[in-house]
Amino acid sequence: MSQDPRASEPSHRDVEPLRGRRVAFCGKLGSMTQREARELVRELGGSCVDRNDSTLELLVVGADELPWNDLDELDALCRSARPNGAGGEASLLSDEMRNLVRSRQVDVVSETVFWEQLGVVESQADVRRLYTPAMLAELVGVTVGTIRSWHRRQLIVPVRMVHRLPYFDFQEVTTARRLAQLIATGVSASQIQSQLAALAQFVPEVERPLAQLAVIVEGKRILLREGEGLIEPNGQLRFDFDSLESPAITSLPMNWRDELDEFCPDQLLEMAMQLEEEGRLREACELYRAALAAGGPDAEVCFQLAELLYRLGHTEAAAERYYMAIELNDDYVEARANLGCVLAELGELSLAAAAFQGALVHHDEYADVHFHLARVLDDLHEPEQAEHHWREFLRLSPDSPWADEARMRLDQHRQLTS
């Protein structure tokens, strides 16, 4: 499993491989924030200096910068103009530092190679290992529905979307685990969302407060810390969650079902999502249906309703809603994948295989689908086709939490044919 570099514990740390080295980071990092990278360098025995500091020994170029293969390309990259925050532009490196780089008085390495050499990550592929909602749910220990809810609230942000299917990198694994810990203390997802929305006006330079800032929990209050102190734009920043909590659900009157026509579709969806997060699934289903009635057919709402129907044990009804989502949006690959899983559970293996194959037509690198299709093909006694999909799954997601089962199945195939 790919890990957050800050959570790794390689043996290199015991000998402090960066002892005495003066390091600077240049450009946007791909694996973590610059603050996290500086903390990790200090943990490994080094010290961080400004990228134009004359004592600099090692310059690390961020993985999210333009690629470079030689000093000429690096020089062009370092000359690229950036906003300096005062209406002008500034180079990544000063002329003096570019000369030191070109004369090889300062070592230069890419972020990916830097972490690999330190043993913090195993390979370049691991830096950008991506996880589907189902894989992320397995890693964090929550339901897939919870992951989707966090995604809808933008508490976790995918690095890639393919036909509505979000992919998350390993940094979001850390964020999701932090969310799970916060919610376990009694803070709801809607409260966290309200806190972050309020915080955004005080720290506009921070794009992802939950990922970039340390989180401190005091009862039902969440405090965000940056560096050594609390963020204090105008005194100590403390929010009262009770005052920020949305009243939409807890204050609904007993006869709220008779007043649904007073809410717009977006309000109905927000209410449904909060009910879902509270575990009130039947009521959430009613509100999703009301949103469809008020706003008309919508593939995403049908998908969410199908998810709840399945969790309530209404498997056939869930299948019908997945079918509807696909009818409304032909390339909704996650709906096709989930339809396949439901059909397989209903014993409709041939139909399940067709649903999975339909998903692969639109997105042939959807690892989850290769996994489930391989299972179905094994059950249909089509070992050659199944083996192909087991191998494809491992090629696409070798570090998946389901990889051990795939390898076991392939071993069984080899034993049967030997």
| Least reliable range by pLDDT among 129-133, 208-212, 272-276, 352-356 | 208-212
Task: Please indicate, yes or no, if residue 252 is contained in any of the structural domains.
Answer: no
Structure tokens at 363: 């997105």
Task: Please indicate, yes or no, if residue 251 is contained in any of the structural domains.
Answer: no
Domain membership of residue 222 as a residue range:
133-244
pLDDT at 399 over 50: yes
What CATH number is attached to the domain comprising 228? 1.10.1660.10
Task: Please indicate, yes or no, if residue 254 is contained in any of the structural domains.
Answer: no
Q: What confidence category does residue 92 fall into, taking pLDDT thresholds of 50, 70 and 90?
A: low
- What is the tens place of the pLDDT at every residue in 140-159? 888 888 888 888 888 888 88
One domain for residues 277 and 413:
yes
Task: Please indicate, yes or no, if residue 250 is contained in any of the structural domains.
Answer: no
Kindly state the helix (H) or strand (E) to which residue 47 belongs, with its residue range.
strand 47-48
Rg for the chain, CA atoms, rounded = 25
One domain for residues 275 and 393:
yes
Task: Please indicate, yes or no, if residue 127 is contained in any of the structural domains.
Answer: no
- What is the tens place of the pLDDT at every residue in 195-242? 666 666 656 665 666 665 555 555 555 565 554 455 433 335 444 444
Task: Please indicate, yes or no, if residue 256 is contained in any of the structural domains.
Answer: no
One domain for residues 81 and 151:
no
Mean pLDDT of the chain: 75
Q: Distance between CA atoms of 418 and 415, rounded to whole angstroms? A: 5
Q: Distance between CA atoms of 63 and 42, rounded to whole angstroms? A: 20
